[in-house]
Amino acid sequence: MNEVERYFARLHERVAEAVDVPFEKVPGCESTDAHCHENVDGCVATHPSLTAVRGWLMEGPDELGTYRVIAHSVLSEGDRLFDITAIDPVSARPKFLRHEGTEKQFQAMKDGRSWLYYPPLRASFDPVSDECDGPQD
């Protein structure tokens, strides 16, 4: 298992720690859909009492136990977490799981994989017969 696989396996182990983070508007802060990292960074720059918190939205699990894991940033003021980026108002807001590690480590995990499914489905595929025997553990 490589470093990336270990990181996401650890997130999966910690999924019970994911919390609900309410949406909240902050005066003077931009909130553009699907730009949570930029929204949070801009808000922190103009509101020194706020801190950026990096992590992952944990959407699911589905019937196979798989989560859609989405890189996300929220704000904290003291112990209180809140989200300035609107998410589809029709869907349930996914829970937020805080990143354990440095900003640099988060960026490395996020780059190239802003969202993914975990655990990944593993299927055995025979390219000669074009048949798949389904998920493998």
Give per-residue pLDDT as tens, 13-70. 999 999 999 999 999 998 998 899 999 999 999 999 999 999 999 999 999 999 999 9
pLDDT at 123: 58
Of 21, 9, 32, whose CA–CA distance to 79 is shortest? Answer: 21
The residues spanned by each domain of the chain are: 3-121
Q: What is the mean pLDDT of the chain?
A: 89
Q: Which two tokens stand for residue 10?
A: 């650890």
Query: Whole-prediction pTM value?
Result: 0.85
Q: Which residues contact 6 (CB under 8 A, 6 or more apart)?
A: none
CB 114 within 8 A of CB 70: yes
Note the residue count of the chain.
137
Q: Which residues contact 1 (CB under 8 A, 6 or more apart)?
A: 9
Mean pLDDT of 111-116: 91
Is beta strand 123-126 parallel, antiparallel or unpaired with respect to 80-82?
unpaired
Alpha helices in 34-113 (DSSP H): 36-46, 103-110
